[in-house]
Structure 1
Amino acid sequence: MKLISWNVNGLRAVVKKDFVKTFEELDADIFSIQETKLQEGQIDLDLSGYHQYFFYAKRKGYSGTAVFTKEEPLNVHQGLGIDEFDDEGRTLTLEFKDFYLINSYTPNSQQKLKRLDYRMRYDDALREYMQKLSVDKPVILCGDLNVAHEEIDIKNDKTNHKNPGFSDEERAKFTELLNSGFIDTFRTLHPDDVKYSWWSYRFNARKNNAGWRIDYFVLSDNGKKMLKAADIHTDIYGSDHCPIELDLDI
């Protein structure tokens, strides 16, 4: 089973940049996207053979998540049950026979970490939610988690230390998540590989590969036997992020 996750930085914008062609070429069983930046009725996607599920932010043109899946899920759940996060359309859960899939667009803590407290509360709520679900069956978390975990995950670690996405607090929360019974699938399979999933639009960052790995597939320990392969599609454009892939043996 192939899973893809991609922060498209505006679904309507990326559709104008061959999104559907890329979608068809990747041929994922489950395709999760973040930062849809739209409301209900603002797009009509023809994705033959896929069920489509959206979770919109209340604020127009902001945030939002979606999942497109060949197999119809047993259940679909929007949010974490906490208004301050759910109003931004950040978390979408699909239950399948063998696992739960959680698609997350984790809040950016913003310049000078002015939204760090909000971000920390989200991380805690998401981790607790994942732990509860994992008692029942394996949990897969995918999405833009807005943190480069280790120095290997960011091009310029020293100059970015304490910046949003590479603060000690955010990195510690990701460590806490992993220590609570989860693995970073790409780093588990590729402990020494340097690949990024996001590049700033400034300073020719993508051309110079001055990037960050902030997009992840995280898997609960009770699902490790399913883990087959993980990759980052750095050759696919259309957003400031690139798609990431997880392959499962189910």
Structure 2
Amino acid sequence: MRSCVNKGFYDYFREIDADLFCVQETKLQEGQIELDLGDAYQQYWNYAEKKGYSGTAVFTKVTPRSVRYGLEEESEPEGRIITLEFDSFYLVTVYTPNAKRDLSRLAYRLEWEERFRKYVLGLDAKKPVIICGDLNVAHQEIDLKNAKGNRGNSGFTEEEREKMTLLLDSGFTDSFRYLYPDRTDAYSWWSNMPGVRERNVGWRIDYFLVSSRLRPAILEARIDSHIFGSDHCPILLEMKDF
């Protein structure tokens, strides 16, 4: 986050003028940054205990009815989730654990995914849910450039993809694929290796998922791949009142 503010973050933030703005992998501790977002926005941060690691944030124009940090407990050491409750829906910003290149954290990742699914289903039983986050998985072959070469790699293992399928089958919709089921070369993350982004050798691992009953309210789901400043690019969801 500290790097992004020097690479055009404020310009994009003001241009978008979003009602709700979510950030994942802030890599911050409390007091390390003071964002000047104007009086219109309230800021909510969930910091990881480990310095320079993980972390999430939400900036909102609308005062939430309640704010929760973590899953079952009120806090969690990696700062991966913030839930804001509004009158007609919940917003969950999430940074899903990475399985690591050697898959040493895959078992933890899968267990965490199951807890997350149960958590959002509990919310969904009360009111609709909008999930915004880096889910660290390319769900289908269309969601990354080199599906064959990456099969079994972190972020494209059968186990991770199956967890995503299970979450969607539990009553959630991938807003981008709902509107654009066949769109190719639409990615939100690129490796920092030289030339990769220029050749658009990417992955779509950032999502807006919505409770499936909100499908009629989806107006637009967009990937702003022209915005630099990070190895990820911003994604946008526009909805009508529901």
| Normalised-by-shorter TM-score class | over 0.9
* 2:8 maps to 1:18: yes
- For residue 131 of structure 2, what is the aligned residue in structure 1? 141
TM-score with structure 2 length normalisation? 0.96
Report the 3-state secondary structure (helix = DSSP H, G, I; strand = E; otherwise coil) of the residue aligned with 1:192: coil
* 2:31 maps to 1:61: no
Equivalent of residue 102 in structure 2, options 102, 112, 127 = 112
* 2:215 maps to 1:224: yes
- For residue 190 of structure 1, what is the aligned residue in structure 2? 180
Residue identity in the other structure for 1:58:
E
Worse-superposed segment, 16-25 or 223-232: 223-232
When the two structures are aligned, how many residues end up with a matched partner?
A: 239
- For residue 163 of structure 2, what is the aligned residue in structure 1? 173
Deviation digits for residues 166-189 of structure 1, max 9, x if unmatched?
000000000000111111010011
Name the % identity.
54
CA distance in 2, matches of 1:42, 1:112: 32
Deviation digits for residues 67-89 of structure 1, max 9, x if unmatched?
00111111110000259x92100
Deviation digits for residues 35-77 of structure 1, max 9, x if unmatched?
0001111111110110000000000110000000111111110
- For residue 197 of structure 2, what is the aligned residue in structure 1? 206
Equivalent of residue 152 in structure 1, options 125, 139, 142 = 142
Equivalent of residue 61 in structure 2, options 63, 66, 70 = 70
* 2:22 maps to 1:32: yes
Contact 1:137 1:222 in 2 (8 A): no
Contact 2:72 2:119 in 1 (8 A): no
CA distance in 1, matches of 2:214, 2:122: 15
Report the 3-state secondary structure (helix = DSSP H, G, I; strand = E; otherwise coil) of the residue aligned with 1:102: strand
* 2:234 maps to 1:248: no
TM-score with structure 1 length normalisation? 0.93
- Give unpaired runs (5+ residues) of structure 2: none
Contact 2:65 2:86 in 1 (8 A): yes
CA distance in 2, matches of 1:67, 1:104: 10
- For residue 52 of structure 1, what is the aligned residue in structure 2? 43
Report deviation, 1:116: 0.2
Report deviation, 1:222: 2.5
Report deviation, 1:224: 2.1
Contact 1:57 1:88 in 2 (8 A): yes
Report deviation, 1:151: 0.4
